[in-house]
Amino acid sequence: MKTIGLLGGMSWESSIEYERIINERVRESRGGTASADLIIRSYDFSAVEALQEADDWDGAARLLAGDARRLQEAGADLIVLCTNTMHRVADSIEAAIDVPFLHLADATAAAVVDAGITTVGLLGTRYTMEQDFYRGRLGSHGLEVVVPDEPDRTTVHDVIYDELVRGVVDERSKAAYLDVIGRLAERGAQGVIAGCTEIELLVGPDDVDVVFFPTTRLHAEAAAAAALAPI
């Protein structure tokens, strides 16, 4: 079994889910007391959030790329970045390492394509919804990506930063998210991507009438599959 290096802690609420899902998949595959071989770099998210707010993506890239290299040097056979938004600096991370980097948008796009869907809604932080680093990656798989209009984008973003990363799950926010998803469906979205790893704490597949793509689960399961694949 390969060793997975996790760049996580953005926020730790979702990092815990990554660890849980990966370990569950390994136990299901191997049986008994088997669990995943993980090396984890967890962050003070307030420091990362400050880099985002300052638009200091070069600083964020140096931080994550350096830590990815250290995970490799510590024995990681592949690197997983446990956050959608910080895939903004994925190219810098990949350039810093010699082991595979499992891109979250690729794992998500594969699931969308497998479901036979061509037009998909995307929820996430403002960075993920508005910038091309994530939408463009999905588009490279032949997908048409629809994001919320304003003021829905602000609602989605604010719930993530004001509530979900702080461990707050509010039924009023869930209702607001479901309304946003409904409007995306009206614009042609056949499914919706929970493009922030904390969104799955609020909304799940049983809550919506379109196909729901939980990026945390999809990415974590892909990581477990990669770790379990023959060397």
Both structure tokens of 200: 């799955």
Both structure tokens of 27: 């136990």
**Calpha distance 215→196 (Å, rounded):** 7
Q: Is 83 noted as a catalytic residue in this protein?
A: yes
Set 85, 125, 128, 196: catalytic member: 196
Q: Is 196 noted as a catalytic residue in this protein?
A: yes
Set 82, 83, 125, 128: catalytic member: 83
Active site members: 83, 196
